[in-house]
A and B are shown apart, each in its own frame.
Chain A
Amino acid sequence: MLELIVAGFMFVALIFYAVTGGADFGGGMWDLLATGPRADAQRNAIDKAIAPIWEANHVWLILVIVILFTGFPRAFAAMMTALNIPFTLMLIGIVLRGSAFTFRKYDVKSQKVQHRWSTLFGAASFFTPFIQGVALGALSTGQIRIVDGRLATGFFAGWLTPFALACGLFALALFAFLAATYLTADPNTERDVQNDFRLRAIWSGSALAPIAFMVFITSKEGAPAMYHGLTQWWAPLLIGTTLCFAIAALTSLWLRRFALARIAAMAEVTLILGGWSLSQYPNLVTPDITIFNDAAPEITLRLLTYALAAGAVVLFPSLFFLFRIFKGKGS
């Protein structure tokens, strides 16, 4: 039971990372793709939206990792060994994204210098979530095998499969959609720029459907356990609800009900991640490591649960304060 609670905390942290940190990556993508007469205004809006909050949003990832290695240390060791290459690549992306964004802000305001940092920031914002999607997908492939506590399948298993690559692509589209949707609802965004992002959100949100279908198709071969999960009795219900929110998000964008679109988009992402984790429950590294066969001793899980609960009491009011100041009305 405690395993489930700790895994639940980890899952919640992952969702928060996706809907906040993921959107920051999406912002970077739109920064690179900024075009037209309002390119600079778009970049400006992205910068304003991300600047005060991206570091806090990024900490969700650290929280996920810390919960993983405290609660499920063997799963952590297995993941970091089997996916050493993609995770190392991801780290390079994380370092470049964060530093390039900060450096741009504090460097010379000339076109050339700013452009150079923007390119690096944007490119890393594409690269990092793609690799994250690939790595997360690789865990579901069933191709990473742990035999007698040792990795039996080398360092290339799972993550170079069509399924994992499709997951990477899906993460990209998802975060791009999130970011564009948030930017339409951000009180700091100008009217014209809001229109630009409205179109971008509709486009990327629509592109999600074929990519999601691609993930589903490739999962038949590439992630059989997950495919099996997605064909259970509850799956149509979940997929149906997700679809409803997706349509609600797109419709709200169309009708310029941006605040509503933001909520629908968040719900959509939450349900997608929920479906992903349900479909492979209780696996952490399919099929050998589950949340039950590899958890830390009970005392660790119990103390971790207390720490997470206590941490949440400090964290959520602080986050609420942060977002109220920067994203609230009239800020």
Chain B
Amino acid sequence: MAGPRTGIDCAPHVGLLSLELQLSVSDFLYARSQMGMSLAFHIVFAALGITLPVLMAISEGLYLRTGRSVFLELSKRWSRGAAILFAVGAVSGTVLSFELGLLWPGFMEKAGAIIGMPFSLEGFAFFTEAIFLGLYLVGWNRLPPFVHWLCGVVVAVSGILSGIFVVIANSWMNSPAGFKIVDGKITDIDPIAAMLNPAAPHEVVHMTLAAFVATGFAVAAIHAFFLLRDRANVFHRNALGIALTLGCISAPLLMISGDFSARSVAKLQPAKLAAMEAVYYTQTGAPLQTGGIPDDESRTTRYALTIPRGLSLLATHDPNGKVIGLEQFPRNDWPNVRLVHWAFDLMVGSGTALFMLSIAVGWFAWKERGVPDGKWLLRALVAAGPLGFLAIEAGWVVTELGRQPWIIYGVMRTQEAVTPMGKIAIPFVVFTILYLFLSVVVIYLLRRQFMQSEKPVSELLKTDA
């Protein structure tokens, strides 16, 4: 089970993945940078696009049950945010579907027939999401309340589904299944088996929960900020309550799914796990190394915080378990150990912080029998706002850089898949500037939506009381 399948013709390959060389001017690296940048941008909108509709549907559901207009106003405001984010997510998602071919035609040529299926299903899920979001956004006065709420539920469900299908396609790149290779040619394709590849369950669960946690805490941070200023504001109190409920239920589950994911990766992609944990030599009773500076030349990690037997315990649930090291793989099959290890620590660190915060929130909520509003807890929530998205970005760096130098793990090298098109620096720079511009505008507009409706709400609440 150790290591990728070999026997496939591989392009001559140099240590392209070391940090120094990544900065060199090469179309291959620009292509990777453009893909990485596009994904890093889109994932934020995808995660928000999956979770905001959940929040807005919960809030509208509460409105239907209680009749309190504060919940109606809340779902309206969240839906305005969802509208802006969904539009940018839709166009940046379109960019990605084309970039698969614009940047990696060699990959799509071989993989299209195998993993086109989840993309097609995602197409329909996304279609459903777009249709019902349209109905939801403009249908406040045109649809009966219950039907309108159902539209919101459909948006939330189809959003979650489209995320799941895309992650399934990605999981196939990490643990390819559903085909055979005979004489260097792909045969016996089975798209269903490809969708049910062994990495799919842990990636799907982990990513969906991560979207809930990241969005839940990011939204909570905004409302905690306003609640700090005005503790009597019922609007922000309720908003915080809903966002925290989702975030704090998902955070512990995310930790469990993280443990499950790590053990799956240890089995499916031992080179990736070795890079995540900076393990150069195979060992039993391996220590857990946090931080530090992995050095590929001396094959050591200096200045790391070390917990004896910690890694064996985590990866195999046995303090004396065996963990495979990078020395088992040819040097040119290593991912970038430093970046993968640091990104992994960043993800686990942020995730753990949110987990502990969720425990604290749970404790205070139980003690105070309501939405906790202690000054220091609210401050902590504000500070923790970006952590979830930081963890998502870091997590994708682990998944994608950790898979390198393969685009299909053990089957096809990323370099074999790249477009023959030169001067990729140009689209890379253009899209980077474009996305930076969009990010600035989106943040400005979201802020505006929030500030704009501040006054009417306070008036609304008076009539409510």
Contacts and interface: CB of A to CB of B under 8 A. Distances in A.
Q: Is the interface of A mostly helix, strand, loop or mixed?
A: helix
A59 B126 contact: yes
A151 B421 CA distance: 11
A24 B438 CA distance: 21
Contacts of A256: none
B342 interface: no
A54 to B, nearest CB: 8
B430 A92 contact: yes
Contacts of A87: 98, 102
B54 to A, nearest CB: 19
B94 to A, nearest CB: 6
Contact of A65 (B91, B98, B117, B427): B98
B116 A74 contact: no
Given A77-B106, A80-B105, A300 B123 contact: no
Contacts of A322: 131, 134-135
B284 to A, nearest CB: 44
Nearest to A101: B87
A308 B135 contact: no
Contacts of A78: 105
B132 interface: yes
Contact of B135 (A52, A63, A102): A52
Interface string B337-360: 000000000000000000000000
A69 B119 contact: yes
B328 interface: no
A66 B191 contact: no
A151 B83 CA distance: 41
Nearest to A13: B123
B135 A321 contact: yes
B94 A94 contact: yes
B120 A98 contact: no
Given A81-B420, A81-B421, A88-B427, A58 B135 contact: no
Contacts of B427: 88
B128 to A, nearest CB: 6
B190 A299 contact: yes
A255 interface: no
Contact of B445 (A81, A92, A106): A106
A95 B442 CA distance: 13
A103 B191 contact: no
Given A62-B94, A297-B189, A318-B132, A55 B105 contact: no
Interface string B98-111: 11111001101111
A300 B117 contact: yes
Given A58-B130, A73-B108, A98 B91 contact: yes
Interface in A102-153: 102-103, 106-108, 151
Interface string A62-84: 11011101111110111111001
B441 interface: yes
Instruction: Report, as a range, how many residues of chain A touch the other chain.
Output: 35 or more
A81 B137 contact: no
Contacts of B419: 80-81, 84
B88 A99 contact: yes
Given A66-B123, A76-B112, A325 B139 contact: yes
Interface residues of B, number: 65
Interface in B74-116: 80, 83-84, 86-88, 90-95, 97-102, 105-106, 108-114, 116
B120 A304 contact: yes
Contacts of A331: 142
Nearest to A318: B131
Contact of A62 (B109, B123, B192, B449): B123
A55 B88 CA distance: 10
Q: Is the interface of B mostly helix, strand, loop or mixed?
A: helix
A247 to B, nearest CB: 34
Contact of A106 (B80, B98, B112, B132): B80
A69 B100 CA distance: 10
A300 B86 CA distance: 31
Nearest to B422: A155
B101 A80 contact: yes
A308 B117 CA distance: 10
The CB with the most chain B CB atoms within 10 A, among A63, A71, A73, A307, is that of A73
Contacts of B88: 98-99, 102
B95 A84 contact: no
Contact of B94 (A53, A61, A303, A319): A61
Contacts of A296: 112-113, 116, 189
A56 interface: yes
Contacts of A56: 127, 130-131, 134
A68 to B, nearest CB: 9
B109 A70 contact: no
B384 interface: no
A20 to B, nearest CB: 12
A11 interface: no
Nearest to A319: B131
Contacts of A84: 102, 419, 421
A58 B90 contact: yes
A185 to B, nearest CB: 19
A303 B192 contact: yes
A55 B130 contact: yes
Contact of B87 (A55, A81, A303): A55
Contacts of B128: 314-315, 318
A102 B191 CA distance: 37
A33 interface: no
B110 A73 contact: yes
A303 B97 contact: no
The CB with the most chain A CB atoms within 10 A, among B101, B126, B142, B420, is that of B101
A88 B102 contact: yes
Contacts of A77: 101, 105-106, 108-109, 112
Given A296-B112, A299-B189, A307 B449 contact: no
B448 interface: yes
A311 B123 contact: yes
Nearest to B110: A73
A329 to B, nearest CB: 13
5 contacts: A62-B93, A102-B83, A102-B87, A151-B420, A318-B128
Task: Enumerate the 9 nearest inter-chain pairs by beta-carbon distance, A residue then B residue, closest first.
Answer: A70-B116, A73-B112, A80-B101, A296-B113, A102-B87, A77-B105, A311-B124, A77-B109, A98-B91
Given A66-B120, A303-B192, A311-B127, 11 more contacts: A53-B134, A55-B87, A55-B130, A62-B123, A63-B127, A81-B105, A92-B431, A311-B120, A311-B124, A325-B139, A325-B142
Interface of B: 80, 83-84, 86-88, 90-95, 97-102, 105-106, 108-114, 116-117, 119-124, 126-128, 130-135, 137-139, 142-143, 189-192, 419-421, 427, 430-431, 434, 438, 441, 445, 448-449
Interface of A: 51-53, 55-56, 58-59, 61-63, 65-67, 69-74, 76-81, 84, 87-88, 91-92, 94-99, 101-103, 106-108, 151, 155, 296-297, 299-300, 303-304, 307-308, 311, 314-315, 318-319, 321-322, 325-326, 331
